[in-house]
Amino acid sequence: MNFTYPKNEKLKSKITIDSLFSKGKSVSKYPLRLVYVESNYGIPEGSSQKLKMGVSVSKKYFKKAVDRNYFKRVLRETYRLNKHLLIDHLDKPYAFMFFYQTKDRLTYEEINTKTIQLFEKFILQIKKVE
**Sequence-distant (≥ 6) Cβ neighbours of residue 109 within 8 angstroms:** none
Judge whether 27 lies within some domain: yes
Judge whether 66 lies within some domain: yes
Instruction: Please report, for the domain that includes residue 63, its CATH number.
Output: 3.30.230.10
Point out the least confidently predicted range of 35-39, 43-47, 84-88, 111-115: 43-47
Judge whether 108 lies within some domain: yes
Percent of the chain with pLDDT over 90: 68
CB contact at 8 A, 87 and 1: no
What pLDDT score was predicted for residue 3? 85
Judge whether 7 lies within some domain: no
> Rounded mean pLDDT of 106-130?
92
Judge whether 5 lies within some domain: no
What pLDDT score was predicted for residue 42? 55
What pLDDT score was predicted for residue 50? 79
Judge whether 4 lies within some domain: no
Task: Give 17-65 pLDDT, tens digit per residue.
Answer: 999 999 999 999 999 999 999 887 655 555 567 789 999 999 999 999 9
Q: Taking 60 as the threshold, does the pLDDT of residue 11 lie above it?
A: yes
How many domains are there within the chain?
1
What pLDDT score was predicted for residue 80? 93
Give the predicted TM-score (pTM) of the model: 0.89
Judge whether 3 lies within some domain: no
Euclidean distance between CA atoms 7 and 5, whole angstroms: 7
Domain that holds residue 75: 12-129
